Amino acid sequence: MKAIDIPEKMSRSSARRLADKKLSSLIQDTAVREFLLTNLVEADGRFVWRVNLDALAQHVDEILAFPPQQESYPGPTLFLLGGKSDFVHPSHHPEMKRLFPGAQIQIVPDAGHWVHADCPHDFMAAIRGFLA
């Protein structure tokens, strides 16, 4: 994202299109790119990223690391996963069940990572069913 150079005085819509085009070679998922583009802001006549990219790059291993956890939560828990998402792998399920022994894992087959946005009706049905 730091390598994306947006010319000064460019309109917001043109800047977003340019950034989206440059990101598309690295990030194929349109929804992820749209989320990232929400962090493109105008400041002093130029476009910058709202997030601290240097800090993220410097601490990426710590950010992505799963924190050591000694205790589990026995209460009811719902993991609602998108079937088209690679974010949570089946290999993660045993650890999820260890930390949340009362958990239900439901998969919405046609959803990506953002289940609520991709399949809002399935999302609401799952939430209602869990809370009932």
Q: What is the reported pLDDT for 120?
A: 96
Give the single-character DSSP code of 92.
G
In single-letter form, the type of residue at position 88 comes to V
- What whole-number distance in Å separates Cα of residue 115 and Cα of residue 108? 7
Nearest-angstrom CA–CA distance, 43 and 51 = 13
pLDDT in tens, 106-125: 999 999 988 999 999 999 99
User: Distance between CA 66 and CA 70 in Å, rounded?
Assistant: 12
What's the mean per-residue pLDDT of the chain?
A: 88
| Backbone φ/ψ region at 117: left (φ over 0), alpha (ψ -120 to 50), beta | alpha
Report the predicted TM-score, pTM, of the whole model to 2 decimal places. 0.62
